[in-house]
Copies of this chain bind each other. A is one copy, B any other.
């Protein structure tokens, strides 16, 4: 083997910091925090504070590879923690505050976290379980002062780093060293930890940096409403400083339409990312208050299929192009991303919308395939539907401290648990989760297709479809609807679906509810719905 003669420079998060400090030091981060709703800091100053935090953490007597937990919203302190922890050779364990207390307790103990950085608004969660977290040596509360609390060992962030020097020499790291840890909240069993490496994080950020994916540069301001406590905010905390984009962080106000609108217009946000629910709230507020999102150019949507109505309203009222993406915690997280506006510009609107509803093409570094139940690869013809499997340097090879992974096959592909078709030109179309597929008369019905179709009805705010047992067809779909305003009749919705999906897919049963149950990551919990409707009798 003849080796190339190129420099050995590891792919580390430290290299992203070094790059941003030299050439994008004037880029800035604007944040809403509990102690300052209008905070602003340059990358140069944020990294200086990250070095102070690194110095302070070192004083705790930590070992290389130790896990440090964060339970925080998107803001500059969380950003500083990302870099201070990972670049010190510790593992930044981001925790989702929407988990149940027993799940929180489980993962802190499973990870054996040594310290916890927590937002003051989330401290009550910790207080409930703190006496069951024996590995924690220090709890650091984001802000300048410690709130009233029964917990004895609290220190305020600003006091913690108060005496620490800005001089800190981050250690030389192997690019395969662990950098961060995020637990997925499966619908059954305990959460499972995905242990990212510096290499996977950097490669994923570089792939996301492509013009057709995040597509952000030094003239952009980016609003990640996707959380840093989960799926690494789609790599924006890494990609933005790498590319020189400003970061606009909503702090605890992620779900507040008014706040998001003011951040977008006040900070010249050109690109925003989040799940569909977030955008529903933003669009509603803008409509009701006659506000237009002037600087916004693009919105990235993931986490759930984006209803066409959202894309249409963004385009028609705000001139904003919506790009869907798809990914998972296990994938760093981005797997696919839909094409930019320019690529659709020459298509008639209807055709462009048909492309927009797809999940998009794989980013470079991610490979995907669909297989039948016997692991035979299926064609990319937009017809064949199969299990979606992926591989790549940003995909996990197993789970932290678990011997086996049932989701990795013998050749190393990861089974996403999604069911999908792929168009001949490589656009992913997710049709279901494996466990949500409805088997009716020996054929599959896609719950997601039904949901998307009915959510285009103006009187439908949200909808979910689950399978209910049926004496003749094994299963039939049950459609559960949250109405927007006055509820339409089930018959009207059935008529609306006609021609949009196969006739035999159309649910005989439609029920209206006040709200749907959502899980910790904001997705509709079909497990919960199946429990609620387990005794429902198909008509």
Interface residues of chain A, those whose CB is within 8 Å of chain B, are: 1-9, 11, 15-16, 18-19, 22-26, 64-65, 91, 174, 176-179, 194-200, 203, 206-207, 209-212, 215-219, 242-244, 339-340, 342-343, 345, 361-362, 364-365, 367, 380, 391-400, 412, 414, 425-426
A2 pairs with B91, CB closer than 8 A: yes
- Residue in B65, B392, B394 whose CB lies within 8 Å of A1: B65
C-alpha gap A199/B216 in the complex (Å)? 24
Given A23-B361, A174-B1, A178-B4, residue A343 in contact with residue B218 (CB < 8 A): yes
B367 pairs with A22, CB closer than 8 A: yes
Closest beta carbon of chain B to A333's beta carbon, Å = 13
16 A-B pairs in the complex with CB atoms less than 8 angstroms apart:
A1-B177, A4-B177, A4-B195, A5-B195, A5-B399, A6-B199, A6-B396, A7-B395, A8-B397, A9-B391, A11-B203, A22-B362, A206-B364, A209-B364, A210-B242, A212-B244
B339 pairs with A196, CB closer than 8 A: no
C-alpha gap A65/B4 in the complex (Å)? 10
CB neighbours (8 Å) of A24 from chain B are 426
- Residue in B4, B194, B195, B399 whose CB lies within 8 Å of A179: B4
A211 pairs with B243, CB closer than 8 A: yes
Closest beta carbon of chain B to A528's beta carbon, Å = 30
Given A3-B178, A7-B396, A19-B364, residue A211 in contact with residue B206 (CB < 8 A): no
Closest beta carbon of chain B to A30's beta carbon, Å = 18
C-alpha gap A206/B196 in the complex (Å)? 20
C-alpha gap A399/B2 in the complex (Å)? 13
CB neighbours (8 Å) of A340 from chain B are 217-219
CB neighbours (8 Å) of A64 from chain B are 1-2
Knowing that A19-B362, A25-B425 are A-B contacts, what are 19 other residue pairs whose CB atoms are under 8 Å apart, sorted by A's residue number?
A1-B177, A2-B178, A4-B196, A4-B199, A5-B396, A6-B195, A6-B397, A7-B395, A8-B393, A9-B391, A9-B392, A23-B362, A206-B206, A209-B364, A210-B217, A210-B243, A218-B340, A242-B364, A244-B361
B195 pairs with A342, CB closer than 8 A: no
C-alpha gap A393/B6 in the complex (Å)? 6
A425 pairs with B206, CB closer than 8 A: no
Given A177-B1, A340-B219, residue A207 in contact with residue B210 (CB < 8 A): no
CB neighbours (8 Å) of A195 from chain B are 2, 4-6
C-alpha gap A285/B506 in the complex (Å)? 64
